[in-house]
Every structure is written in structure tokens, then in C-alpha cells.
Copies of this chain bind each other. A is one copy, B any other.
Amino acid sequence: MHNNDQQAQQNNIRVTLAYDGTGFAGWQIQKDKRTVQGEVETALEKMHRRRVKIYAAGRTDSGVHARGQVINFRSDISSLSPDRFFVALNSYLPPDVQAIDSTEVPPDFHSRYSARLRTYRYYLLPAEAMPPEHRLYCLRIRYNPDIAALNRLCVPLLGVHDFTSFALPRDVSTSKKRRIQKAVFFMDGPFLVFEISANAFLWRMVRSILGTLLSFEREGKGPEALEKVIHAQRWDASGESVPSAGLFLHSVRYEGEVY
């Protein structure tokens, strides 16, 4: 038992979530729509018998999946060890969103503002037919891209840049500067995976970058073409975005964690 002697204390609990984005209108609560935030807050309300406000590291879009979404919230349930909180939470959650682990964190930990690195993965399947079990979790492409060429195209993305060219026109973020630490393609079984890590991402940025990289590889364009797109700082300089189904919020890393 944890904190049995301090019943009224509010612990800051961090939970890792995995979800299948197919059945959700994205992360963020919206009226009359099924959202991940809505389902998790409803589950926590049942456990706490009061509304519990949660914060998420990444506000994923409609149809986007997660393996390592991180949330935090205040809990006064003293009868549960923080490390086993996720097991209890799962019994209140639907099967398409599940908690993977849980732990107590310092009072000033904030899943969104404390996050140092967010990693997304996009799964492509170069194949003649789409195996039905994978149809909601990857994008099938009808050719075999040159992986070395794709990785060369990624190089200009690294470092700090203004990513206006990969933002949506309606994006009102005050700064569109982000720091990309990693952008790489690799094979994982039959899948061609695009993995990209940054301090933070703009809305739809990963899908816009990947769509541009794929079309440039097909057209035989080199890294200098991608550099031009970045420097243009115009949203219409980039290529068409890829659909949401192949995208996963893979992990989020915080101060002091290995990344």
C-alpha cells in the first residue's frame, strides 16, 4: 500500500498509453465524438468518482495510433501502488486504448511541457497486396523505394529549422521552429519504417515530410531539392501528405532518460 498515511495527498501519476487510432476522432476531447482523451478521462472518473484532467505528450490526429503516448494526472487513490495503477485503469478502458505502465513522478512533471523528445514511426509496406491484418496499421506502396536515397533525402531535415513548409496553412503556432534529432528509414520485417524524432512537431508535420520524401525519391530528386522546400517556408512548397493509418506515436522521452 502506498501513502496510506496521507489519504488526501494528490500523487502525480504518469501513465504510458497504447491505442488503435482507427475508432477515434484523435486525441483531444470534442463534443459528440469518440476521442482517446474522452475515453481515458471517463475511465479515470469511474476510478476516482470525480473528473480527472489529463495531459498528453502528443495530441495525435484522427486515425493516428500510439504505442508510447505519455499522460499525467493527479490521483488521491492511496490503495493502489503507482506501479500497478495501469492494471486497474485497464479494467475501465475499452480494448482499443490500454495503459502499458504507470509510475509516480515528481509534482512538477508535466507530460507535455516536460517532454524533451517525441518519436513517431510510419509503417510502409512495399507489396503487391495488403495483408488484411495490417490494413489499418500501414500504408501499402506498389514499388520498392531506394532506402539509401531516402536516407540521403533526410539529411537536410536534421537540426533546427523553421518547418512552415510542412505545416498546415491554418496552423497558428507562434513559432514553427523545431529541432529534428533523427530522421531515418529502415526495414522491419516486410515493413519499410520511417522514424523521426524531434523536440516537438507541428500539426500534420510528419505526414507532410514523409509524403514529400517519397515523391522526391520517386522523381529522383536529391537532398538539395528538399533543402529548397525547407527554405521556401511556404506550406504549398511540400508534397502531398500520407494518410494517418500508418502513423504511430512511438515514444516520448523526458529529462534524464536515455534517448
A interface residues with partner B (beta carbon < 8 Å): 18-20, 65, 67, 86-87, 90, 95-101, 128-133, 135-137
Contact of A130 among B98, B129, B131, B135 (CB under 8 A): B98
User: How many identical chains are in the complex?
Assistant: 2
| Complex: chain B residue closest to A67, CB-CB | B131
Chain B residues with CB under 8 A of A136: 133
8 new A-B contacts at CB < 8 Å, known A18-B133, A95-B132, A97-B132: A19-B132, A67-B131, A87-B129, A95-B135, A96-B135, A98-B132, A133-B136, A133-B137
Taking a contact as CB atoms under 8 Å apart, the answer to whether B18 and A100 are in contact is: no
Interface secondary structure of A, over-half rule: mixed
Q: Which residues of chain B are within 8 angstroms of A100 by Cβ–Cβ distance?
A: 128-129, 131
Q: Which residues of B contact A95 (CB under 8 A)?
A: 130, 132, 135
Q: What is the CA–CA distance of A20 and B133 in the complex, to the nearest angstrom?
A: 5
Cα distance A100–B136 when bound, in Å? Answer: 17
The answer to whether A86 and B135 have CB atoms under 8 Å apart is no
Task: Decide: B20 and A87 in contact? CB cutoff 8 A.
Answer: no
A97 vs chain B, min Cβ distance (A): 6
The residues of B that contact A137 with a CB separation of less than 8 Å are 133
Most chain B CB inside 10 Å of its own CB: which residue of A65, A90, A129, A136: A129
